[in-house]
Amino acid sequence: MRTNKKNSLLKPSACACCAPPRPPAPTSTADTLAWNLRYGSAVVALAALWWLVFAHLPQAAHWLTFGALGLAPGSRLGAAVEFFVYDTAKILLLLAGLIYAIAWMRASLNVEKVRDFLAGKRRGFGYFLGSAFGAVTPFCSCSSIPLFLGFVTARIPVGITMAFLITSPLINELAVVMLWGVLGWKFTAIYVVTGMAAGMVGGAYMDGIKADRWLQPFVREAAQSVPVRRIVAKSGGKLTVRQRHAFASGEAAMIFARVWQWVVAGVGIGAALHGFVPQDWFAENFSATQWWTVPSAVMVSIPLYSNVTGIIPVMESLLLKGLPVGTTLAFCMGATVASIPEFMMLRQIMAGKLQAAFLVYLWVMLTFVGFLFNAIGPHIL
């Protein structure tokens, strides 16, 4: 009888993070200390290398696009290729590094206490924490997914992780400084409050519809797997660094293998949109003040892909061309908080019903924001 390979990937026994780890053979204290020293040295060296590569990605992508490949600076193809190279490498680096780090900590974390703390009467505070953490992390919509996946597998309530996922691409400290300089402190303050409120309301909405039932099976199984700490505790032992590493490397490898190709495909589509969709088209078609312009602008913006620091100059340009402030804000927030690449990657984490609920919430929320700012915009600019 032939085995369904796809379904077999969802079984707990098929991944290292779900299978109960075997206790290592007894070793001497000297051997354990020597292994820990080698491991610590390797972690420091790899972390330094990771940061060096990550910090120089923009220059590397620029050189590869316009130097090695010889594409013309300022061309649409060059912009698309540079975007693809940079974002693909950035997201894959974040995926590998963050999932390993979160799994390493989760191996001995008392997730029940964390979950109970955030899921009880403090759920509202949890939404605020998720949204606030999203506001201080400098990630775009796609780069937020590794942390989102790590939080879900750590059994943080889905609503709190969704508050993070919504807020993270909307706000960061560099964007706040840029927005302040372009549109003033009043607009910036309202933008930050609106972005965090959108994340908190979205988190409450996701918990209200019990969104955790629409996570993909492998995510639920990883979240429900028995941490190494509990297995070691039953035998009266103590969690070792080697056991943490085995758990974290197994989980990181399993998740990376499932989603890396969707990262490449998703960013490829985002790069094409980034390089070939003209900005003037939006100013020409959405400058009217009819009611339909705001929901239409949001609907058009959501498939696009940009980060918040990159969208602020676009926001200024659209405002100077006469686009109403609410329509401009709704469009720019839609382009940063969601995108086709993000939804392609989220398809590996969320079932279709959860993606649809997420998309509908974003459309309704951003449309409301657009109407609100169109009404109050003349008083704050």
CB 374 within 8 A of CB 294: yes
Q: How far is CA 183 from CA 91, 315, 321, 381, in A?
A: 30, 10, 15, 7
Predicted confidence at residue 10, as pLDDT, reads 37
Is residue 113's pLDDT more than 70? no
CB 331 within 8 A of CB 291: no
CB 163 within 8 A of CB 197: no
In the three-class reduction of DSSP (H, G, I as helix; E, B as strand; rest coil), residue 301 is classed as helix
Q: What is the DSSP string of 184-222?
A: -HHHHHHHHHHHHHHHHHHHHHHHHTTGGGGB-HHHHHH
> Which residue would you say has higher pLDDT here, 263 or 360?
360
Dist CA 84 CA 107 (whole Å): 34
Question: How many structural domains compose the chain?
Answer: 1
| The amino acid at 377 | G
Dist CA 72 CA 79 (whole Å): 9
Task: Read off the tokens for 130.
Answer: 């998720």
In the three-class reduction of DSSP (H, G, I as helix; E, B as strand; rest coil), residue 24 is classed as coil
Cβ burial of 275 (10 Å; 0-12, 13-18, 19+) is: middle
Task: Read off the tokens for 72.
Answer: 């013309």
Is residue 278's pLDDT more than 80? no
Is residue 367's pLDDT more than 60? yes
* Residue among 242, 329, 340, 327 at smallest CA distance from 292: 327
pTM over 0.75: no
* Residue among 323, 289, 322, 320 at smallest CA distance from 301: 323
Residue 57 in any domain: the answer is no
Average pLDDT over residues 18-31: 57
Average pLDDT over residues 94-109: 76
Residue 255 in any domain: the answer is yes
Phi first, then psi, for residue 4 (nearest 5°) are -75, 105
Cβ burial of 43 (10 Å; 0-12, 13-18, 19+) is: middle
| The amino acid at 323 | L
In tens, the pLDDT along 287-299 reads 666 778 888 888 8
Dist CA 48 CA 203 (whole Å): 35
Predicted confidence at residue 186, as pLDDT, reads 81
Dist CA 363 CA 360 (whole Å): 5
Residue 141 in any domain: the answer is yes
Average pLDDT over residues 48-72: 92
CB 114 within 8 A of CB 250: no
| The amino acid at 240 | T
Identify the domain containing residue 117 by its residue range. 73-380
Residue 26 in any domain: the answer is no
| The amino acid at 116 | D
In tens, the pLDDT along 172-196 reads 776 777 677 667 788 788 888 888 9
Residue 145 in any domain: the answer is yes
Dist CA 304 CA 306 (whole Å): 7
Predicted confidence at residue 1, as pLDDT, reads 43
Residue 29 in any domain: the answer is no
Residue 286 in any domain: the answer is yes
Is residue 13's pLDDT more than 50? no
Predicted confidence at residue 108, as pLDDT, reads 63
Task: Read off the tokens for 222.
Answer: 């990883």
Task: Read off the tokens for 351.
Answer: 């079932």
Residue 17 in any domain: the answer is no
Cβ burial of 284 (10 Å; 0-12, 13-18, 19+) is: exposed
Beta-bridge partner residues of 350: 215
Is residue 169's pLDDT more than 90? no
Average pLDDT over residues 244-259: 81
pLDDT over 90, % of the chain: 15
